[in-house]
Amino acid sequence: MLKTSLRFSHELLEAVVTPGDTVVDATMGNGNDTLFLAQLVGEAGHVYGFDVQETALLNTTKRLEEHQCIKQAHLLLQGHETLGDVLSPEEAVKAAIFNLGYLPKSDKSIVTHEETTIKALNELLIRLEEKGRIILVVYDGHDEGKVEKSAVLDFVQTLPQEKFSVLNYQFINQRNNPPSLIAIERKTKR
């Protein structure tokens, strides 16, 4: 069977992230991706987690503590657009993941936006290691999500193919707007 965007996102990350790597969860949400990344990098690695909602920070902290993975995590109650203020320009990032849209079972008026997402992408691209990956799982079943998806697709299509490969993966015949996936992989050294 074809994989869902969420399952495929984890396979794409698992293929490149190794113990000791530095990775980013740009939208912590309920902490599922943060935990997944923390388990991949192990205690020698480092996960930066960003979210603007205190609920996301609390849920992620609890999830990481329950699985003894809090030690390798640096969780921030701030938007992913501040990534450039947190990581030094020299800090190499092996992978990052975004879940664009809103936090499930929370205030649906708090959503990600194309301006902040593209700013975060630019910061990640200058830090992304060779063969590193940035994954965006895009939930566009709401008006703001459609605008953000369009802007992000426009942005990633401009990335030079000599340096990056970009994949757009989505189901096109399903109801209820299942999420799509955008994957960016660096081909050449930073």
pLDDT at residue 19, as a whole number: 98
CA distance 136 to 138: 6
Residue 180 is part of a domain; what is its CATH number? 3.40.50.150
Confidence at residue 113, expressed as pLDDT on a 0 to 100 scale: 81
Q: What is the pLDDT of residue 156?
A: 98
Instruction: Supply the pLDDT for residue 101.
Output: 81
Q: What's residue 38's pLDDT? A: 98
CA 115-98-77 angle, 5° bins: 80
Predicted TM-score (pTM) of the model is 0.95
Residue 190's pLDDT is 64
Provide the domain limits for residue 30: 5-186
- Return averaged pLDDT per consecutive 10 residues of the chain, 190 residues in all: 92 98 96 98 98 94 98 97 95 95 66 88 97 94 82 97 96 88 90
Write b or e for each residue in 85-115: b if 16 or more Cβ atoms lie within 10 A of its Cβ, otherwise e: eebeeeeebbbbbbbbbbbeeeeeeebbebe
Domains held by the chain: number: 1
